[in-house]
Chains A and B, each alone.
Chain A
Amino acid sequence: MRENSLIESWLRGIAIAVVILFFMFPIVWIILMSFQTNETILRIPPSVVFEPTLDNYRALITGKLETNAASLDIAFMRNLGNSVLLSVGAVALALILGVPAAYSFARHKTRFSEDIAFTLLSFRFAPPLLVLLPLTIYFQKLGLSDTYFGLIWVYQLICLPLILWIVRGYFEDISEDVEYAYRIGGHSWFSTFRKIAVPLAGPGIAAAGLLAFIFAWNNFIFALVLASADKQPVTVGALAFVTASGIQYGQIAAAIVLSITPTLLLALYAQKYLVEGLSLGAVKG
C-alpha cells in the first residue's frame, strides 16, 4: 500500500510536468525568440543561450525595419491601436445595450424577452461567415466598410450574448426584496437600477466586460472579412505581417508576444470569473 502510493505520486508528478511542458513551452519559446536576432534564431541546433536584444521590439515600435537590403515599413503599432479601439468600443457598446436588457430579462420574464435572449444566444453558435459574407456587400453599399463603427457593431455578435447571459445571472441572484424596499422609499425605477441593482451586480458586470474584451481582441474572422487595411486589428495584422515579411522571424515573434500580452494579463486578473464566462454562466468556478 505504502509503496503503491509512492509510485502513484511519482506518476502524478510526471504527468503534471508533461502537461505543464506541453502547454507552456510554445509561449516560453516565442518569448525567447522575440529577444533574438535572426542569426541566433536560425542556429542549428537551437539553443537557449543567446545574447538578448531589444531590436525586434524597437523595430515594431518605431515602425521601421532596417535590413541589409532596404528599409521596411511595419504598420504593426497601428494594428495594436486598432485592436484597442475596436475591443474597447465593442465592449462599451455591448455594456450599454446589454446591461439594461439583462436586467429586464432577469426581472420581467415574458415570452418575448425569453425569445430575444435565446436568439442572441443562438448567434453565439451560428457560423460567423454566414452573416459576414452578405455583410461585406451591405457594408460597401452603406459605406460602413471603411469605418470602425461598422466593425464594432458586428462585434456585438461576440460581446452581446456573453454580457447578456452572464450579467442576467448576476441580476437574478440579487434579491428582489432589496430593490422593492428602495422603491417603497419613493425612488424611481431608474434610480433603483442605477443605485441598487448595478452596484450589486458590479463584479459580474466587470467580469463579463473583461471577458467580452478578451473575445473581441482574439477575434479574427470578422475583421479579416470586413476590415480595410488601415482598420485591421492585431490578429489580422500579424498574419499579414507574416505573409509580407516571411523571413523576419524575430519581429514576427515579438509581434505575437505584444499581441497576446494584453489578453493574458487580463485573463490572469479576471481568472476567478473565467469559468463562469466561458460557460456563459452555466458553471461556477
Chain B
Amino acid sequence: MSDHSLASPPPKRRFRIGRRVLPYLLSMPALLVCIGILVPFVTAALYSLQRYRLSQPWARKYNWGENYLNFLSDPSFWNTLKISLVYAGTTVTLELFLGLGIALLLQKRTRFNNFVSIMLLMPLMTAPVLAALMWKLMTNSGFGILSYMVSLLGIQDFRWASSPDTALLTVVLVDIWVYTPFIMILLLAGLRSLPSQPFEAAALDGVPRTFVFWKITLPMLMPYILTATLFRLLDSIQQFDIIYAMTQGGPGDKLTVFQVEAYLNFFQSTNIGRSAALMMILWAITFVLSNIFIKNWLKLRERAR
C-alpha cells in the first residue's frame, strides 16, 4: 500500500487549493436554484402589500397591511381558514387511525402481508388529480358505480361532490384513498423496526395484549406517528389537486381551501394582492408546522442511520 502511494505522483497542487473551495463549488448549483426560488417568494411578499388587480393596473400601489387587515372583516377569508383546517384535521385524523390499523394488521412479515402492503402503494402512486377523476367517474349521477350502490341502500339522489352537503365528504374520501397508504407504509416500517425484546418479555409474563399495545407498542411507535402525522398535515392543509379536479372549490364557496381560493383570486378575479396575502398566511402556518416537523424528522433520521 505504502509502496504504491510512494510510486504514484504526489497529489497535484490544484487539488489542495480546490479542497477548501470544493464544497462551496459543488453546492453552488443547488444554491442558485434556491436563490431562483427565493426571488419569486420575495416578490409574492411584496405583492401581498399592494393593491394590485390585473383589471385595474393603473390603481396599483402599496397599501401596506391593508390586504391583511381586510381579512379580519372578510367572511370569505374566515370561510377559507375554517374549511382548510376542517379538511386537514378530518383527513389526517381518519388517515392516521386507518393507517395505524392497517399497519397493525400487516405487521407480521409474511409473504401475503408484504404483497398486500405493496398493492396498497398503488393509490399513493396515482397522481391525486387522476385519482379525483377516477372517483368523479365512479360517483357520476348517471352511471357511477358508487351512486348505484348508494341507491341500492335506499338513498335516492345522493349527489356526492355536486351537493353542498356531501362535497366535503367526497373529497375527504378521495384524500383518504390516496394518502392512507402513506401513513400505513411509514408506520409499518416503524412497527417492524421496533426491538423485539420488550414484546418477548411481555409475552413470557403473560401480559394482556391491550396492555402491551398501550404501554409498549404505542409509546415506542410515537416518533413515527408524529412524523407521519406532521408530514401529512403539512400536505393536507395545502391540498389543491383533489379539490380543484373534483369541484374547483365549489359548490359555491364550500371547498375554497387556501390554495384553491388563491388560485381563483389570481386567475378569475385577478386580484393579485389578495391572492398573495392568502398565500403568505398559508406560508406562515406551514412554516411553523414544518419547523416542528423537521425537528422530529431529524431525530428519526439519526435513528435510521
Chain A residues packing against B (C-beta within 8 Å): 12, 15-16, 19-20, 22-24, 26-27, 29-30, 33, 41-46, 96-98, 100-101, 103-105, 107-108, 110, 112-113, 116, 118-123, 125-135, 137-138, 153, 156-157, 160, 164, 169, 172-173, 181, 183-186, 188-189, 214, 217-221, 224-225, 234-236, 238-239, 242, 249, 252-253, 256, 259-260, 263-264, 266-268, 271, 274-275, 278-285
Contact = CB atoms under 8 A, between A and B. Distances in A.
Contacts of B39: 138
A181 to B, nearest CB: 8
Given A43-B143, A189-B15, A285-B189, A26 B262 contact: no
A66 to B, nearest CB: 22
B185 to A, nearest CB: 6
The 3 closest A-B pairs by CB, nearest first: A186-B8, A218-B127, A108-B23
Contacts of B180: 23
Contacts of A221: 240-241, 259
A280 B297 contact: yes
B244 to A, nearest CB: 8
Most chain B CB neighbours (cut-off 10 Å) among A126, A153, A271: A126
B138 interface: yes
Contacts of A252: 133, 137
Given A44-B148, A283-B190, A127 B279 contact: yes
Contact of B36 (A126, A129, A153): A153
Interface string B63-107: 000000000000000000000000000000000000001100110
A247 to B, nearest CB: 9
Interface in B124-158: 124-131, 133-138, 140, 142-143, 145, 148
B138 A29 contact: yes
A224 to B, nearest CB: 8
Contact of B116 (A20, A119, A268, A271): A20
Nearest to B33: A156
A134 B177 CA distance: 33
B130 A281 contact: no
Interface in B17-76: 18-19, 22-24, 26-27, 29-31, 33-34, 36-37, 39-41, 43-44, 47
Interface of B: 1, 4-5, 8-12, 15, 18-19, 22-24, 26-27, 29-31, 33-34, 36-37, 39-41, 43-44, 47, 101-102, 105-106, 116, 118-131, 133-138, 140, 142-143, 145, 148, 177, 180-182, 185-186, 189-190, 193, 224, 227-228, 231, 234, 238, 240-241, 244-245, 258-259, 262-263, 266, 272, 275-276, 279-280, 282-283, 286-287, 289-290, 293-294, 297-298, 300-301, 304-305
A260 B126 contact: yes
Task: State the main secondary structure of chain B at its contact with A.
Answer: helix
B125 A256 contact: no
Contacts of A27: 122-123, 126, 134
A30 B142 CA distance: 16
A42 B143 contact: yes
A104 B19 CA distance: 11
A100 B26 contact: yes
B105 A189 contact: no
Contacts of B185: 274-275, 278, 285
B119 A23 contact: yes
Contacts of A283: 186, 189-190, 193, 224, 227, 300, 304
B293 to A, nearest CB: 7
B248 to A, nearest CB: 10
A219 B240 CA distance: 11
B122 A264 contact: yes
Contacts of A104: 22-23, 26-27
A137 to B, nearest CB: 8
